Structure 1
């Protein structure tokens, strides 16, 4: 359909992105620019690159949803004929030009014609006749799914005002999410955006291979424009929900579950400790240190994790101290990829989460986790930068008091074993985080020659001098220093807002435990498997009505609620989640309404939910709907 992108595409996109960032500060975006930005955002939410093609109806449907549309099956079939094998980004833009979003006014106007009592609702009996007899007819099972949607049905009536709100909010949330993702992900902003040119004429999409003459005649006879049929939008939205289940859990303002308590003889147990940190990436992914723990003989073990209490301004609460921390304990087997989940630190005493139990001798993998409910990107970034360096009376560069204090805190975080010195292994975790490269043995030898060391490890003063040298190398330009600070989670006011340092304590009754940080990576993979397995083992399971292979597992504790979706079927499924009726809650997704795609024969963490204000009652009300 669209021609292959040439070498001029990369130049065009680089130029457009530079001009976009500079001109938006001076001039508002044109309607055409906003349209293409929305197209890019939606497409790159589904695909890694806009040079990838849409190769199925499901992908087309999902991309259109992220663009704020709710296409009916008729609309999908119009652009994806039996002869279609792929659509590209240009084709997607053309479809979006033609398929406009239905307005709330249009929806309400259509419903009001059917509202005989003028009370904002339609009897289920009347709705059944409408959906099965008019227009794009629905089956009895599909209608039953519509009237079973908890958020818009009650007392034998379909509340179309609530439905219209749900419809519009879903569209807006999808579009908002895609634009936010495009904004924060610099890698996506550098992607090539297909072969379209804003000055080139719009071409009609033509399937590949070319359709038969009969199909072409049919396409010409059937107008492509959306006639603004609000009822069609109603049908497309209601039809996509095959079935739904709802949860309402009222959580109290006090901990009813068992609290974390220390073993009576803990002072006699042997202890090991390590520090670490959660870091928030630009795309909101969370990475952290991962650990290997060794237990020499069978022993009772007491393990805790909590935020690390660094120096803080008197009377000002440090934001990371309120972030939840959990540690998953997995036993290593002969196959390193197949770790066995032992347990996790679910018991709590204030900010400390812990676990007590007996462990067999062997090697264990410790994976820290935070839900992401409270560790989030700053909403109101600070614009004015704090001063990092200055020149004294002699003209020599020095570090400001505020920057020195921040560097001492960073030293505390990266000094994993807490001995007041930095080994090459500890320093390399810092280097990987801030520069992406390790310091080899030769470079470390040079470092030890030029900066203060003790026992072949870097001291606090040596670490200070190393940063001062970096400032001198740049003749006082603090740009590189800011790269380090931002990588470590600090904002321009030198506040730690996008990271959470933590400390792990391990006590063993009969042997000396050992713990060592072995890598730093995203909180996914093995962690996702561990969370899913723990929820499946301990949570409540509810099957989607009529779809026994789709199961929603919910695990609740006084501190949080985690939901996991299990798809036992041979096909992928899309689940729509609505949290709008929840009270005093925040979730890890950051959206009240969203959708997730679950691969065949798999499980995935849907969301974590926590109270927004602790100490007050919070109500978890969530509706999970299976999308067709």
Structure 2
């Protein structure tokens, strides 16, 4: 017997219409939250940390358990549709959720949250807050200025705090809607339309739940996103690497990675990047033979006068064959550290490449000074053995009049060195440029009398050395040494050239910094430094925060972390015991990888209470899949 569908009643129709309207509103809110973090709905969520951020932007406060449910070992990225489905399943934070969480903070059960209780909760883990910072946060919540929240009373009503947090969440959603509308208007705006105007009030007030109310709905208490509750313009945040979810010890699986060039999870360049302030510099990685093959590079400081969204890119700068092999480019990365009174705290680093192949990162930075530390794994940039050198080329020759002239090959190498030393890319060498070149090749700075000789004998333009003048300077050196080329070879080898004048011991790179809301961004070169302890600590910190951890069998205080990014894998060993250990890290069963250690089966000694890098791994052939397998064993 067939069954005929009846026409819905008017009440049912009304409910259906209401449900449709609610669903439409829900999707708009999801879209606004997504576009407050990304420029386009086609952009993908490429990490668990970013998933947490965009869920927070939608008014949700995911716990580690919730994040682990949607970001598994097999997840490479999530789309906007995936994000919408997650939002359907996970409800937004409610006042009841906040009330349950804050009752756990009220240790003495008197119905109030005191400064002491809030201070204790906010300083037990993650980024530490001072008592003054906690008080400042409470003062910011007191919007009605009724005097109940001043330092003397030291109490905070449950209801007022919860209502304020929910109000902050609503304000964040409203700001997300404004940002979405702004971006959609920009897409429709003709390219020659001025950027400022009726949108100007939005700049400088980017709101994120990372810097606003963020309380876990399962009764675990507020997450460490409470620092700036109540003021939508603030960008300070308690989210730090310590708060990133860490997987529990697991049964190891093979990690199969798709070809780097074919992966769809790419960081997108901001659509309005041409409107941002741009500053850039060149630099170089060098293999320092005097330091046992250690990698050194230029270092930078970035000064920001205002809070701003930044987009940082780094890529090898092709000079001859430097920085590129048949298998792919030398990997390059930038670690961003916040300069402090006693230490430098890591903020972020370039994890992925964009569609142009540049290693890049996009994030919010508050006003202040940052240290930008270039990094390469050394997998494709390493010290060559003498047996691989070819026949030594001639640097000079004598013409028919027995005058010393530079060979054509040597002149080409000098032109490349000039381009490497020209850090600002203006086609000239300033005294600062020439000074670091001199430090690299001779170990000494350029004295005033030496610069006077330069000014009096070679071609200058606007007080700076031209490329012709630079070559002439080396011609003078060859003449002064009566044809002896030892000093010339010192210059060449210091700059990364082998005896065949191939630049294989250096990798020039280009660093670009774009700031959206800061017009006075200053990028300054701080000279050449080794990739020493500070950078190793930063690498270990990010790997232990974002990588997968496994306990070594029979060693309760020994952990191995494996981080696999867009084009790099890193294995780190953490030894929390009171004695040093020797551990063998066997990655020889991996497929299509090359390590910085040269031997995939590598043994290292880890001192007590230290964390060290065991392997950096990158794909040997970037056009093919690569598999990371690492087996560890303790050597007695």
Question: TM-score under structure 2 normalisation?
Answer: 0.57
Aligned residue number for residue 547 of structure 1: 555
Task: Give the 5 Å matches for 1:467-546.
Answer: 467-510=474-517, 511-546=519-554
Residue 432, structure 1, aligned to residue 439, structure 2: yes
Work out the number of aligned pairs and report it.
381
2:582 to 574, 597, 619: 574
CA contact (8 A) 1:582 1:619 kept: yes
More relative contact order in 1 or in 2 (CA 8 Å, sep 6+)?
1
Distance 1:410 1:245 in 2: 50
What's the counterpart of residue 340 of structure 2? Answer: 333
- Relative distance call for 1:481 and 1:247 in structure 2 (3 A) is farther
Matched, 1:610 2:610: no
Decide which moves more: 531-540 or 281-290: 281-290
Structure 2 partner of 1:383: 390
Partner of 2:279: 272
Q: Distance in 2 between matches of 1:477 and 1:440?
A: 24
- 1:271–1:512 contact (8 Å) kept in structure 2: no
1:146-157 map, 5 Å: none
In 1, distance between residues paired with 2:295 and 2:477?
Answer: 28
Contact 1:245 1:623 in 2 (8 A): no
Structure 1 unmatched ranges of 5 or more: 1-243
Report the Cα offset of residue 590 of structure 1: 0.6
Distance 2:379 2:486 in 1: 31
Q: 1:305 aligns with which of 289, 302, 314?
A: 314
CA-to-partner distance for each residue in 1:216-262, whole Å, 9 max, x for gaps? Answer: xxxxxxxxxxxxxxxxxxxxxxxxxxxx9966322223554621221
Q: Distance in 1 between matches of 2:364 and 2:589?
A: 42
Relative to structure 1, is the Cα distance of residues 470 and 320 closer, same or farther in structure 2, using a 3 angstrom cutoff?
A: farther
Call closer, same or farther: CA 1:321–1:487 in 2, change over 3 Å: farther
Alignment partner for residue 406 of structure 1, among 413, 421, 427?
413
Equivalent runs, 1:53-132 vs 2, <5 Å: none
Partner of 2:102: none
Once the two structures are superposed, what CA deviation does each residue of 1:449-494 show, in whole Å capped at 9, x if it has no partner? Answer: 2222233322212211111111111111222111111111111221
Structure 1 residue 533: Cα displacement: 0.8
Task: Specify the SS of the correspondent of 2:503.
Answer: coil
**293, 296, 309: which is aligned to 1:287?**
296
1:534 Cα deviation after fit: 0.9
For the residues of structure 2 that align with 1:436 and 1:246, how far apart are their CA atoms?
Answer: 49
Among residues 352, 358, 363, which one is paired with 1:347 in the alignment? 352
Hey, what's the Cα distance between the residues in 2 that align with 1:455 and 1:558?
Answer: 44
Q: CA deviation at 1:442?
A: 2.5
* Structure 1 position 296 matched with structure 2 position 300: no
Is 1:366 the counterpart of 2:378? The answer is: no
Could you say what secondary structure the match of 1:547 adopts? Answer: coil
Q: Deviations over 1:486-514 (max 9, x none)?
A: 11111122111111000100111122321
Report if aligned partners of 1:574, 1:596 keep a CA contact under 8 Å in 2. Answer: yes
Alpha carbons of structure 1 residues 426 and 546: separation in structure 2 relative to 1, 3 Å:
same
Q: How big is the shift at 1:431?
A: 1.5
Q: Distance in 2 between matches of 1:375 and 1:396?
A: 39
Matched residue of 2:452: which SS?
A: helix
Provide TM-score, normalisation by structure 1: 0.58
State the distance in 1 between where 2:613 and 2:383 align. Answer: 21
Q: Match of 2:569?
A: 561
SS at match of 1:403: helix
> How many Å separate the matches in 2 of 1:517 and 1:568?
37
Query: CA 1:589 to 1:312, structure 2 compared with 1: closer, same or farther past 3 Å?
Result: closer
What are the equivalent positions in structure 2 for 1:161-180 lying under 5 Å apart? none
Partner of 1:417: 424
User: What is the CA-CA distance between 1:448 and the residue it aligns to?
Assistant: 1.5
Shift of 1:592: 2.3
The Cα offsets for residues 285-308 of structure 1, whole Å up to 9 and x where unpaired, read as: 111111111111001111000011
CA distance in 1, matches of 2:251, 2:285: 34
RMSD of aligned C-alpha atoms?
2.2
Q: CA deviation at 1:582?
A: 1.9
Question: Contact (CA 8 Å) 2:584, 2:635: kept in 1 or not?
Answer: yes
| Deviations 1:350-398 (CA, angstroms, capped at 9, x unpaired) | 5410011111111110100101111122355233112221222222222
1:619 pairs with 2:627: yes
State the Cα distance separating 1:320 from its structure 2 match.
11
Mapping 1:580-595, distance limit 5 Å: 580-595=588-603
Assess if the C-alpha contact under 8 Å between 2:394 and 2:407 holds in 1.
yes
